[in-house]
Chains A and B, each alone.
Chain A
Amino acid sequence: MSETSKVILISGGSRGLGCAIAKDLLQAGHRVATFSRSSTDFVQEQTQADPDGNRFVWRSLDGCDFDGVRQFVREIEERFGPIEVLINNAGVGVDGMLSTMRDDDVHLGVSLNLEAALQLTRTCLKSMLREQSGCIINVTSVNGIRGFSGVSVYSATKAALDGLTRSLAREVGPMGIRVNAIAPGYFESAMTEGLTERQKAWIVRQTALRRLGETEDMLGVVRFLMSNEAAFITGQTMVVDGGLTC
């Protein structure tokens, strides 16, 4: 895969980590397509700056609208060419004690965090198989690696994505398609703003580098995984947690 402008599809790229990744990749000169349920300031700014969608395209889409997502992928392929990098970022942080969780929240977590990623990956794989080249990055979590009380459903879905990463890497590796995951630890984001100061302090104490992560800590890892410098890396989960789980 060349290091020139790549065609990148990232789910949930309108806010949070997905937005930061999308911004970073646009600044690096890549073409970025993303979807999310609702627009944000970032989406509006980018759309105004690039009204013809020469390098940035956003659609209002629910990740669980599988037909809509398939159509969007086809649209992007017609506009930009084959998808070269897929970043499965969209997710929702369902939390609570499993024994008292509502059915809807369990289904939401599994559908959006896992099934939507599987469906999107299956769709994008087709162009990667045609090209015999591609890179898939799954955004998982330290919650999929270690147990934390109150996030059983979320943990299950993220651990499942790690399993997908390993098996899919073996499945499509012979076709030159790499599949890796990035597992962020706790970093300042919408998902952690609900933590109390006491909880944050506990996390910091458990972290070897004695701080919470920042969104920027993840960006270099994403760039690395999609670069030629990671050409012999596949099936791996890169844990970016300051040593929380070491």
Chain B
Amino acid sequence: MSQVRETVYDVLQTCAEEESLDIGDLTGNERLVDDLGFRSLSMARILAVLEGTLGADPFSELVAVTSVRTVDDLVGAFEKALSTETRRVDEGAVDPQVEQGRQRAAARRRRTRPSTPLTQ
């Protein structure tokens, strides 16, 4: 079992215990919400813990968080983030939806150039 998978499993078990969820032994196929019973806020915490533990945030650019449904999806997202070979857009590894969103946000920021000093 990879280090990433082991970490993900550990974090899921820890968070499950905090919420009195019995998720049993994980195989990877389990759906995080529908099968394991995690709510959206719990998932937000799980992702925050994994980001802090693994030192990677796959959902800022690489992977659309909405595509993560199963434990394997979650493991895959963090493995992707930790793989240095998959960080470039021109290699096609960045989720196109994420990249389009990033480009729209960057275009909005370019249209806004603060000319007025902060006054508050």
Contacts and interface: CB of A to CB of B under 8 A. Distances in A.
Interface of A: 12, 14-18, 36-38, 62-64, 66, 89-94, 103-105, 107-108, 111-112, 125-127, 129-130, 132, 139, 171-172, 174-175, 189-191
A191 B119 contact: yes
Nearest to A82: B52
Contacts, number: 83
Contacts of A172: 41
A125 B116 CA distance: 29
A108 B120 contact: no
B52 A130 contact: yes
Given A111-B108, A130-B48, A104 B115 contact: yes
Given A14-B118, A15-B119, A92-B120, 17 more contacts: A18-B120, A37-B118, A38-B117, A64-B109, A66-B109, A91-B120, A93-B119, A104-B115, A107-B108, A111-B108, A112-B112, A112-B114, A112-B118, A189-B119, A189-B120, A190-B120, A191-B120
A37 B120 contact: no
B23 interface: no
A-B interface, 9 closest residue pairs, ranked by CB to CB distance from nearest: A107-B112, A126-B48, A129-B48, A91-B120, A129-B45, A190-B119, A111-B112, A130-B48, A16-B120
A171 B119 contact: no
Interface string B78-115: 00000000000000000000000000010011011111
Contact of A17 (B41, B114, B120): B120
A112 to B, nearest CB: 7
B52 A126 contact: yes
A80 B115 CA distance: 33
- Please indicate which of the listed interface residues A36, A104, A129 has the most CB atoms of chain B within 10 Å of its own CB: A129
B44 interface: yes
B51 interface: yes
Contact of A62 (B51, B105, B114): B114
Contacts of A17: 120
B54 to A, nearest CB: 13
Contact of A125 (B48, B52, B105, B111): B48
20 contacts: A12-B118, A15-B118, A38-B117, A66-B109, A89-B120, A90-B118, A94-B116, A107-B108, A107-B111, A108-B112, A108-B113, A111-B109, A112-B114, A126-B51, A126-B52, A127-B52, A129-B48, A129-B49, A190-B120, A191-B119
A104 B112 contact: yes
Given A62-B114, A64-B109, A104-B113, A130 B120 contact: no
